[in-house]
Structure 1
Amino acid sequence: MTKAEIVKEIANKTGVDKQTVLAVIESFMTEVKGSLEKEENVYLRGFGSFIVKKRAEKTARNISKNTTMIVPAHNIPAFKPSKEFESMMK
């Protein structure tokens, strides 16, 4: 499902115009990205959590050049579904 399809579905179900729904969804995504950028997790009860995972520094190999390189420690965004959400998928 694309963002446009989500906007259309929400607009149809709520009666709110598509531009308003799109603005709300865009604002939501901006807030989530901003929080994760500040290394703050976002918890949505009954849905899941957007969390920041920390990756440790590691040694990697470039097989084509036969060299090793150090990949520095870094953070990555992740989503962890709630137990309620996970149970719906089984």
Structure 2
Amino acid sequence: MTKAEIAKIVHERVGLTKKESAQIVESVLGVIRDSLEQGDNVKLSGFGHFIVRQKHARRGRNPKTGSDITIAPRSVVTFRASPLLKKKLLKGDK
């Protein structure tokens, strides 16, 4: 699903103009993105958590050359679905 598809659904369900719907979707996603960039976790009740994790530097191997390399430390975002979402997905409820 794309941002445009989400904006279209907001337009149809809420009755705002397409432009206003697109602005709202972009604004909400921007707030989520900004929070994650700052290292904050984001919890959407009934949907799930976006969790920022710090990965430490580690040794790895270049699969092409076989040489050892050091993989730099980095931040990653993981998603953990809420129990409610998991239940709906397992049942096939929509």
Same fold (TM over 0.5): yes
CA deviation vs aligned residue, 1:23-43 (integer Å, no higher than 9, x gap): 111111111111111110111
Name 2:32's counterpart in structure 1: 32
Name 1:75's counterpart in structure 2: 75
Give the CA RMSD over aligned residues: 1.2
Report the alpha carbon displacement of residue 65 of structure 1 after superposing the two structures with TM: 2.1
CA deviation vs aligned residue, 1:49-70 (integer Å, no higher than 9, x gap): 1110222221111132231110
- 1:36 and 1:50 map into 2 onto residues whose CA distance is 8
TM-score (norm 2): 0.87
Name 1:16's counterpart in structure 2: 16
TM-score (norm 1): 0.90
- 2:81 and 2:63 map into 1 onto residues whose CA distance is 36
8 Å contact kept, 2:6–2:25? no
How many residues of Structure 1 are paired with residues of Structure 2 in the alignment? 90
Q: Which runs of 5+ in 2 are unaligned?
A: none
Runs of 4+ more than 3 Å apart: none
Name 2:3's counterpart in structure 1: 3
Secondary structure at the residue paired with 1:89?
helix
- 2:71 and 2:44 map into 1 onto residues whose CA distance is 32
